[in-house]
Amino acid sequence: MLPERDRIRMQHMRDHASEALAFTKGLDRSALDKDRKLALALVRLLEVVGEAANKVTLETRLAHPSIPWAQIIGLRNRLAHGYDSVDLGILWVVISKELGEVIKSLDEAL
């Protein structure tokens, strides 16, 4: 059983990741170049996913190795601290190719 605070943080992760997917539904990579608001919103959503992941206890992280904790937290750090050099191509790959599996793993853990 998950500690309540970890469950809440993992729900935040899932909800924000799902919102990022919803924002990009039906779009292609060029949408990020054309719509600055979209790009900024996606960066923020992934920052929140990473911040919530960082606050999940080590015990819970170890109990759910299918969730790429280090990568999620690392992405958050890169987005927050490398704000002036965000690679939208990488952001798109994360959202379009990897985020669905993260959501699936979070759903299974929850």
Residues taking part in catalysis: 76, 81
Torsion-angle region of 26 (φ positive above 0: left; ψ -120 to 50: alpha; else: beta): left
Among the listed residues 104, 110, 108, the one whose alpha carbon sits nearest the alpha carbon of residue 3:
110
Q: Tokens 């170890």 — which residue?
A: 62
Among the listed residues 55, 45, 47, the one whose alpha carbon sits nearest the alpha carbon of residue 10:
55
Task: Give the Cα separation of 101 and 99 in Å (integer).
Answer: 5
Q: At what angle do helices 4-24 and 99-109 cross, to 10 degrees?
A: 150
